[in-house]
Amino acid sequence: DGGITQSPKYLFRKEGQNVTLSCEQNLNHDAMYWYRQDPGQGLRLIYYSQIVNDFQKGDIAEGYSVSREKKESFPLTVTSAQKNPTAFYLCASSIQQGVWETQYFGPGTRLLVL
């Protein structure tokens, strides 16, 4: 089945530790995105990538890094520089459909700081 997978479902980070969240899609979508959601809030964009080996910062990129070595994969690293990383992280991918690209989301990863 085609879709977007994120792993792990839950992730625990110790102080000063870098952690990497996985996002894979087999939909042959060109663009991929990372959003952060805090409790009771909407989503905020961290990074996005339109093509392989290219990505752009979103509104809250500080303390995060990404790579796009393959079309199917867009991992997000939460670095120790991110002082408040506890949140729900959602990955999305999109494809142009007519005028507008529609973003489809994975199931998310909950990151907790120990």
Partner 1 sequence: AQKITQTQPGMFVQEKEAVTLDCTYDTSDPSYGLFWYKQPSSGEMIFLIYQGSYDQQNATEGRYSLNFQKARKSANLVISASQLGDSAMYFCAMREGANAGGTSYGKLTFGQGTILTVHP
Alpha helices, DSSP H only, in the chain? none
Exactly one of 17, 20, 86, 102 binds partner 1 (CB under 8 A); that residue is 102
Spatial neighbors of 68 by CB under 8 A, at least 6 apart, are: 32, 49, 51, 52, 53, 54, 55, 74
Q: Are 88 and 109 in contact (CB under 8 A)?
A: yes
Q: Does 71 bind partner 1 (CB under 8 A)?
A: no
CB under 8 A: which stretch of 11-19, 20-28, 39-47, 69-77 binds partner 1?
Answer: 39-47
Residues that bind partner 1 (CB under 8 A): 30-31, 33, 40-45, 48, 50, 58-59, 88, 90, 92, 94, 96, 99-108, 110
